[in-house]
Chains A and B, each alone.
Chain A
Amino acid sequence: SAVISQKPSRDICQRGTSLTIQCQVDSQVTMMFWYRQQPGQSLTLIATANQGSEATYESGFVIDKFPISRPNLTFSTLTVSNLSPEDSSIYLCSVPQGNYEQYFGPGTRLTVT
């Protein structure tokens, strides 16, 4: 299975600022997913990042708030913009492998003060 790393592992940010999260995969993958996991909750898909094209956002998530870059087949970034306390969550990237199963990065724990 792919080895996935994320940076930073955690951060504390002030409201109104932005945080950019990096996701690095040790192999080339066509799709990468970004999820949000609010405290004690399930995983919600934010967007699908495809190399060479715009990310596809899920309902309730917009590019202005969550801009995504996908410069190559092993790397993606998610920016959470104009932070508010409601953005305090764990953000996870994942990659699909094999027959639909997903492998997740270790996550980035964001706290907004």
Chain B
Amino acid sequence: GQQVMQIPQYQHVQEGEDFTTYCNSSTTLSNIQWYKQRPGGHPVFLIQLVKSGEVKKQKRLTFQFGEAKKNSSLHITATQTTDVGTYFCAGSAGGFKTIFGAGTRLFVKA
């Protein structure tokens, strides 16, 4: 079945450093979504990518969807303590059913 792999499992950064998490699917995706879950909270939708090679930006966050629509990345420039949490990618091969990656937990040291 479809699998979505995400690395790294966790990352510690100093405030101001950049951060990247990567997502790879075993199958071609129709779309990929990114979510952020703060400690003790629930996942919150960040963005969706649907086009091959698509790049979207939200302030310091840059999201990319690979040309083959099987991988994606989230890059945060100059991390802040408010970026702390777990970032999940979630891929769909079609329809609303999505498979979540394992998540990358980000720790930011002030």
Q: Contacts A99-B48, A104-B42, A104-B44 hold; do A42 and B88 have CB atoms under 8 A apart?
A: yes
The prevalent SS among residues of A at the interface is strand
Q: Which listed residue (A41, A101, A107) contacts B42, Cβ 8 A?
A: A107
Which residues 82-98 of A sit at the B interface, judged by CB distance below 8 A?
A: 92, 96
- Whether A103 pairs with B102 at a CB distance below 8 angstroms is no
Q: How many residues on B have C-beta within 8 angstroms of the other chain's C-beta atoms? A: 21
Which residues 66-113 of A sit at the B interface, judged by CB distance below 8 A?
A: 92, 96, 99-107
User: Is A43 in contact with chain B by the CB < 8 A criterion?
Assistant: yes
Q: How many residues on A have C-beta within 8 angstroms of the other chain's C-beta atoms? A: 21
Contacts of B42 in A (CB 8 A): 92, 104-107
Binding site for A on B (CB under 8 A): 1, 31, 33, 41-45, 48, 50, 88, 90, 92, 96-103
Binding site for B on A (CB under 8 A): 1, 31, 33, 41-45, 48, 59, 92, 96, 99-107
